[in-house]
Every structure is written in C-alpha cells, then in structure tokens.
Structure 1
Amino acid sequence: MNGCLLIHGFTGGPYEVDPLARYLRQHTDWKIVVPTLPGHGETLDLKGKKADEWVKHAEEELKALLEECEEVYVIGFSMGGLIASYLSVEYPVGKLVLLSAAAYYVNPKQLLVDIREVFRDVFKGELANNELYLRYKKKIKDTPISATYQFRKVVMMAKPLLKDIKIPVFIAQGKKDGIVPPKSADFLYEEITYEEKVRHFSEEAKHLICHSDDSEELFQKVKDFLVKEK
C-alpha cells in the first residue's frame, strides 16, 4: 500500500487541502493522512508555538506512514510546501507535490486587485459576502507577530535544501494568488535541479488552489503525476 501525507499552510488547517485529499481517496487505494499542525486548525492558538513544533509534527506523521506503506508521497500547501520540501530531503519520500509553496510571500499586484474588490463590496454593502475579507479578517486578529517570525524560520530552513531534492516534483501555482506570487513557482522550478519536475499554473486559482474553479484539472494532474512509473 502507498501512503500520501498532505501538509496545510501557515494559519490554516486540513480544510485547505481537503478537496485534494478527498479526490485522492476516491481515485486511489492509498492511505491519506492530513494532520493539523500545532496551534492551527479551525481555531487558531499560535501564541508560543515554534517552527520546530510544526516540522516535528509533520515529521512524526511521515515516519508513521513510512513504517506502514511501501512508498510515500508528500504534498505541501503554502508553508506546508516548504515543510514537505525539507522532509523530502531528510526521508525516503517517493515524490513531492508543492502547491502555492511559499518560497516568496505576498504578491503586491494581485493583492491590490483583491483589496480593490473588498472596497468595492464595502461601497455596495456586500462586504459580508466577500470571500477574501471573510477568510482573512479573523486570521489577522489571531496571528501574533511571534508566529509570523516562526513562519519565516520555516522558509529560511527549507530554502537552502531545495537544491538537494532528488525526487520527482510537481509544482502548482495560481496566477491570481495574492499571497504567494507566481515567481515563487518559477524560483522553485529553477532551484530544484532534479530533472523530473513539472510546473503547472492555474489561470483561475487564488491562494487556496485546492478550492479554485479549475481545481479538478489540478487534482487530475497531481494524481497522474503520482501514479506515473518512475
């Protein structure tokens, strides 16, 4: 039996990658594991949480899968993509999938477009229906500065190891992502020198690439990549 570990992003939770997890459960017989990193989930409790705790938690989940499964794949979203990259260097992972991986953070051009949409909805009296506003207003309030520093530690830990990745990699990025800019995918593609690598851009996706209108195409490509013989 094969296994697949999906790691969510900073201030997020399993819901960020659940659509892909459900797709893989429906189309494979693999063991699919989607842990919640310490302090994350539907209710955030990030005060005092450390980068090492997030990495260790994902590491323990991976080690359990490696003991049980013949081959294990790791999928990481946003910050989870950097944790996944680190784990793929340190452990015998079969393949790696990076979704909106946060090698760079904040896309000013797209973020400006998103902010304009928020203000437009303010004037129209429809702010309560604005997806961006609803998703991030609570996160901003519940994310201490110390947690943001710990996120940066994950980035600094993982970036130097990208050149050491020696397994097939699938890199996916949304062109409308206001959090992680498209240049992040280009950087990952160039920095990871292993020959077997794929780069996919979604025309519709914002940051939550697993929830985009064209996510079904992404899921199919991810599955095809993972099941393909090396």
Structure 2
Amino acid sequence: MKGCLFIHGFTGAPDEVVPLAEFVKEHTKWDIRIPCLPGHDQPGALRGVAFQRWIECAENELADLLEACEEVYIAGFSMGGMIASYLATKYPVKKLVLLSAAAYYVNPRQVIKDIRLVIEDGMKGTLNENEVYLRYRKKITETPILSTLQFRKLVKYTKPRLPEITIPVLIVQGECDGIVPMKSAHYLYRTIGSKEKKLCFLPASTHLVCHGEDFEELAKETAAFLGIRQYETEKV
C-alpha cells in the first residue's frame, strides 16, 4: 500500500489541504493522513508551543505511515512545506509536494493589493464577502507574537536542509499569493538538491492553493507527479 502525509500551515488547520487530500483519496486506495499540529486545534492554544513540537507531531505521523505502507509521499502547505522538506531528508520518503512552501514570507505588493480590496469592500458594505478578510481576520487577531517567532525559528531551522533533498519534488506556487512571495518557489527550486524537480505556477491562486480557482490544474499536476493512474485514465 502507498501512503501520503499532508501537513497544514502555521495558524491553519487540516482543512487547508483537505481538498487535495480528498482528491488523492478519491482516486486511489492510499492511506491518507492529515494531522493537526499542536496548538492549532482551538483558539488561543498556540501560546507557549515551541516549533519543535510541530515537527515532532508530523514526524510521529510519518513514522506510523512508513510502518503501515510500502511507499510514502509527503505534501506540505506553507509552514507545512518546510516541515515536509525537513522530514524528507531524514526518512525514506519517495516524493515531495510543496504547496506555497514558506521559505520566504509576506509578499508586499500582493498585501497592498489585498488591503486595497478589503478597504473597497468595507466602503461598499460587502466586507463579509471578501475571502481574504474572512480567512485572515481570525489569524491576525488570535496569533500570539511569540508564536510567530516560533514560526520564523522553524523556517530558519529547516532551510539549511533543503540541499540535502534528493527525491523528486513538485513545487506549487500561487501567483497571487500575498503571504508567500514568488521568490520562495524560485529559491526552493534553486536550492533543493534533487535532480528531478518541477515548478508549477497557478496564475489565479492566492496563498491557499488547495482552495483556489486553479484547483483543477493543481489536481492534474499532482496526479501526474504522484502517478495517480485512475485520474489520468478518467481524463483521457
């Protein structure tokens, strides 16, 4: 049996990657795991959680998956992408999918565009229809500053391991991402040591690529990369 571990991002939850995980599950008989990282299960729980615990949680889930399956893949979103990259250098993972992986963070130009749209919707009285505002209002108001520092420490801790990655890698990046800039994807492509690696840019997607307008393209690229034949047969 094959297995795939999905790792969500900082201040997020499993639902960030659920659409892609469900797509893989629908077209395979694989063992799919989507753990919730410590401190991400309820509001205010992040306070006092060290970044090592996020890595340990994903690592324990991966160890269980490796025991249960003959071949294992990892897909990591945002901060989860950096955790996935780190684990791929320690364990016999076969393939790695990086979704908006946060080697760098905060895209100033896109943030300005997003803020402008939020202001415009606020003036029109349609703020509660603005996807960016709804998704990030809670994150901004409920994330402790010290937790953000732990996130930065995790990125600093995992980045040096990128050249050690030698397995096939698919790097996915939304071109309208206001959290992780495009240069992050380019940096990952240059730095990762794998000979087999591919960059996939989604033109209409923001940070949450699994919930973006380009999901069909994301699913297609993921299926091709992971060798999901049932999906490929359906599209013929």
TM range (shorter): over 0.9
CA contact (8 A) 1:13 1:42 kept: no
Residue 188 of structure 1: aligned partner: 188
Residue in structure 2 matched with residue 123 of structure 1 by the alignment: 123
Matched residue SS, 1:120: helix
Report deviation, 1:91. 0.6
Find the counterpart in structure 2 of residue 29 from structure 1: 29
Query: Do residues 212 (structure 1) and 209 (structure 2) align?
Result: no
Residue 216 of structure 1 and its aligned partner are, at CA, apart by 1.4
- Measured in 2, the distance between the counterparts of 1:26 and 1:7 equals 18
TM-score scaled by structure 2?
Answer: 0.95
| 1:135-146 equivalence runs, <5 A | 135-146=135-146
State the shift of 1:137 in Å: 1.2
The residue that corresponds to 1:173 in the other structure is 173
Determine the C-alpha separation between the residues in 1 that align with 2:146 and 2:39: 13
Aligned match of 2:62: 62
- Distance in 1 of aligned mates of 2:47 and 2:83: 20
Residue 104 of structure 1, CA deviation: 0.4
Q: Which residue of 2 aligns with 1:89?
A: 89
Letter in 2 for 1:9: G
Aligned residues: 229
- Show the counterpart of 1:159: 159
Letter matched to residue 180 of structure 2 = V
Please, which runs of 5 or more residues in structure 2 have no aligned partner?
230-236
Question: After TM superposition, which residue ranges in structure 1, 4 or more long, deviate above 2 angstroms?
Answer: 41-44
RMSD over aligned Cα, in angstroms? 1.2
Note the alpha carbon deviations across 1:91-146, whole angstroms, 9 max, x for none: 11010000000000000011111000000001101111111111111111111011
**CA-to-partner distance for each residue in 1:9-43, whole Å, 9 max, x for gaps?**
00000000000011001111110000000011464
Gaps of 5+ in 1: none
The alpha-carbon distance between structure 1 residues 26 and 44, as it changes in their structure 2 partners (threshold 3 A), is: farther
Aligned residue number for residue 80 of structure 1: 80
Amino acid at match of 2:147: A
Alignment partners' CA distance in 2, 1:98 and 1:186: 12
Amino acid at match of 1:159: K
The alpha carbon displacement at 1:219 in A equals: 1.2
Deviations 1:149-174 (A, max 9, x none): 11011101111000000100000000
Q: For 1:60-89, what per-residue CA distance to the aligned partner results, in whole angstroms no more than 9, with x for missing partners?
A: 000000001001000000000000000000
Residue 107 (structure 2) aligns with: 107
Return closer, same or farther for 1:163/1:56 CA change in 2, 3 Å cut-off.
Answer: same
SS in 1 for 2:171: strand
